[in-house]
Amino acid sequence: MEKLLLTVACGDYDRTKTLQDGTVQPEGIRLNYLPLQAEEIFWRMSNFLEFDASEMSLSNQITMVSRGNPPFVAIPVFPSRFFRHSCVFINADSGIQKPQELKGRKVGAPEYSITAAVWIRGMLQDEYGVKTHEMEWFVGGQEEAGRKERVTLKLPSEIKVNPIAPDKTLNGMLESGEIHALISARAPSSFVKGSPKIRRLFPNYKEVEMDYYKRTKIFPIMHVLVIRRALYEQHPWVARSLYKAFSEAKERAIGAMLKITNTHAATLPWLFAEVEELKSLFGTDWWPYGIEPNRHVLETLIRYMGEQGLIDRPVKLEELFAPNTAGEFKI
């Protein structure tokens, strides 16, 4: 029986390498895996439905579900997770020394709705008492002018979001002091190049992030795997097949890391120490897929999105995912 040819666009991750090289093959599927940057994937999938399945912004997917008739069906595979304390950048002349001093300030984000920004705003509220409406927001291209929101914003009146001038970038505005802070999934180029004008709000971010996880048990999810709804309705089995394959690929990646006894197996001098630290903090699977292992994290994100005006109605977790990817069969 001929296998179904599917094109999947997803990042170039260690946890998907065995899908890319064909070591892991989804049941009934001949996989064409395109390793692309997230911004390109989201733009092409959201605007043109170019792929059969793809990585997708989790916050954007939740917004689409809340508004009804979403074009995609999600699978509880989370290709990207990231603690975001390291992603708050400050103009050094702003006088901001601690998170509470962001109140009343001008803060940039490439898009108001990106998942990284949702998590950072939620963290600032829960951990430091800084509410979204207490900052004025500026959105647009971080490094290139002209970036637009992927979803239409329907925000409450107390949240002020301003598009930046079409010839400006957030990176330039942060360095010049036109905005006081920037939250983003990527470090601004001015910081990367060593500009004395830019610094992190949390310079000891690893220490802060580890403490955050110990207290909250939240390892923030950024992206989710989605299938075009039309494809899912025609071939619902594809969802489970992809879920199993991506899970196996991730387990192989973590398994290979756990077996490393020689630090020269990878170009990191303290890799073994890092793995031991991860195991002590998270256990043997620090990147879980599936609904139940991530329920608390996902429900926290949905709460943040409601508080930040990004969903039209309360969303139940079970609405987000293909029903046949929930739970496991028993023998």
Convert the pLDDT of each residue in 3-33 to its tens digit: 999 999 999 999 999 999 999 999 999 999 9
pLDDT of residue 265: 62
What is d(CA 117, CA 131) in angstroms, rounded to the nearest whole number? 13
pLDDT of residue 172: 98
CB atoms within 10 A of CB 233: 10
Which CATH number does the domain 4-81+221-249+289-323 belong to among 1.20.1250.20, 3.40.190.10, 3.90.1150.10, 3.40.630.30? 3.40.190.10
pLDDT of residue 22: 97
Q: What share of the chain is helix, strand, coil (3-state, %, to 5)?
A: 40, 15, 40
Residue by residue, DSSP assigns 74-111 as EES--S-B---GGGEEEETTS---SGGGGTT-EEEES-
Q: Where are the domains of the chain?
A: 4-81+221-249+289-323, 85-216
Question: Residue-wise over 54-77: b if at least 16 C-beta within 10 A, else e?
Answer: bbbbbbbbbbbbbeeebebbbbbb
Strand partners, 33: 8
pLDDT digits (tens, 9 = 90+) for 180-195: 999 999 999 999 999 9
pLDDT of residue 263: 53
Strand partners, 107: 137, 181
pLDDT of residue 37: 96
| Cβ partners under 8 Å of residue 3, min gap 6 | 28, 29, 30
Beta strand segments in the chain, E: 4-10, 29-35, 53-57, 72-75, 88-91, 106-109, 136-139, 161-163, 181-183, 198-200, 223-228
pLDDT digits (tens, 9 = 90+) for 198-233: 999 999 999 999 999 999 999 999 999 999 999 999
Q: Which amino acid is at 85?
A: H
Domain 85-216 fold: D-Maltodextrin-Binding Protein; domain 2 (3.40.190)
Contact 91, 119 (CB under 8 A): no
Reading the block at residue 280, the tokens are 């002590």
Q: Do domains 4-81+221-249+289-323 and 85-216 have the same CATH topology?
A: yes
CB-facing half-sphere around the CA of 111: CA atoms within 13 A: 19
What is d(CA 115, CA 176) in angstroms, rounded to the nearest whole number? 26
pLDDT, averaged in runs of 10, over the chain (331 residues): 95 97 97 97 97 98 96 98 98 97 98 98 98 98 94 95 97 98 97 97 98 98 98 98 98 84 68 87 93 97 98 93 84 69
Q: Which amino acid is at 98?
A: K
pLDDT of residue 205: 98
Contact 284, 255 (CB under 8 A): no
**Predicted TM-score of the model (pTM):** 0.95
